[in-house]
Amino acid sequence: METKTMNIKIEKAKTSKIDKVDFDNLAFGNVFTDHMLVCDYKNGSWNIPEIIPYQPISLDPSAKIFHYGQSIFEGMKAYKDENNDIWLFRPLDNCKRLNISAKRMAIPEIPEDYFMEGLTALLKLEKDWIPQTPGSSLYIRPFIFASGTGFHASPADEYKFIIAFAPSGAYFSGKVKVLIEEKYSRSANGGVGYAKAGGNYAGQFYPTQLALEKGYNQVIWTDDNTHEFIEEAGAMNIFVRINDTLVTAPTSDRILDGITRKSILKIAKDEGIAVEERKITVSEIVEAAKNGSLKEMFGAGTAAVISPISAFGFRDVDYDLPEIGDNYASLLKKRITDIQYNRAEDKFGWRVKV
């Protein structure tokens, strides 16, 4: 991908923080690089993005982000291969999804070239920050929020689009144990669940805390009406393997259309694995766990990659998943990460060189 003619001004940081970072012991998303991309929406249009040193943002106390949660984001990663070439995975899909979120949250859409050229320019500047330690990568966080002011509950007239980078290690450390939730819900029919809107995440914190206190790592959400259908987890779509068939819930206006999810579906089909996108009931999973036909469960997402689930809890009973040698999770994880890190042929055309 070539940086085109757009003139992205770069103001360089006076000093770099990179020497202070222990790249062998990265946590997730708490170390930030030296620069960020900033782009302001004012008077009805987006200004040309600029790159500036990573620095605090100053906002009026009445900025609508504080009051009305008008914010959206994306999560991506940049990967460095053995030749120090830098790769993105399906980045245009993130841009398109950001704009789907934007529309639902009454936020002006960001032009694709601002997103792609801004991201590329920032990546070139920060290339030394991309970790090469196995399992680590540069987590990319594009986000847009309402900076316009006023207490009237209506869309803001000004916004900020920012891209920031965090060299990161694994999202989950260790085994992932999930709780199937029946009381609290993540999203409504006709709501904003399919958008990566800030408020969707804050709404999950309290029920997730309750689950953590009981020894689980994540909540699996069910539909808010019957609580009988599996939807997704906090930051991952969910796959279950029943006998040799891989099943995942169809997307809807309550579920995020995950890029990892749809890539896994393609790769699995390519591997000759039987795949079903259909509604999954909780009782079906419990039954399958009891009769031994539930072979695997895993979460799929950019941050979590593919995270095998070791057990799920439902109505105070824990159901352990078997440890099987020939598992889909490892196979699919290897295939997707091999594409991401440029270790294998990219037969679907997903990889983009920076």
Ligand X SMILES: Cc1ncc(COP(=O)(O)O)c(C=O)c1O
Chain residues 66-85 in contact with ligand X, contact rule CB under 6 A: 75
Q: Is 11 in the site for its own copies (CB under 8 A)?
A: no
How many angstroms separate the CA atoms of 76 and 318, rounded?
Answer: 33
Among 117, 223, 231, 232, binds ligand X (CB under 6 A): 232
How many C-beta neighbours within 10 Å does residue 33 have? 23
H-helix or E-strand spanning residue 320 = strand 317-320
Lay out the site mask for ligand X across 191-210 (x = CB under 6 A, - = otherwise).
-----x--------------
Residue with smaller CB distance to ligand X, 49 or 193: 193
Q: 227, 229, 234, 216: which is closest to 313 by C-alpha?
A: 216
Q: Is 71 in the site for its own copies (CB under 8 A)?
A: yes
Among 1, 13, 18, 29, binds its own copies (CB under 8 A): 29
Under 8 Å between Cβ of 263 and 76: no
Residue with smaller CB distance to its own copies, 23 or 54: 54
Q: Is 244 in the site for its own copies (CB under 8 A)?
A: no
Tokens of 97: 């999804």
Find the binding residues for its own copies in span 96-155 (CB under 8 A).
103-106, 139, 141, 143, 145-146, 149-155
Under 8 Å between Cβ of 3 and 13: no
Count residues near ligand X (CB under 6 A).
Answer: 14
Burial bucket for residue 174 (CB in 10 Å: 0-12, 13-18, 19+): exposed
Q: Is 347 in the site for its own copies (CB under 8 A)?
A: no
Q: Is 319 in the site for its own copies (CB under 8 A)?
A: no
Find the binding residues for ligand X in span 17-36 (CB under 6 A).
none
How many angstroms separate the CA atoms of 76 and 125, rounded?
Answer: 17
Among 185, 302, 340, 342, binds ligand X (CB under 6 A): 302
57-58-62-65 Cα dihedral, nearest 10 degrees: 0
Amino acid at 277: E
Q: Is 260 in the site for ligand X (CB under 6 A)?
A: yes
Binding site for ligand X (CB under 6 A): 75, 196, 232, 235-237, 256, 258-261, 301-303
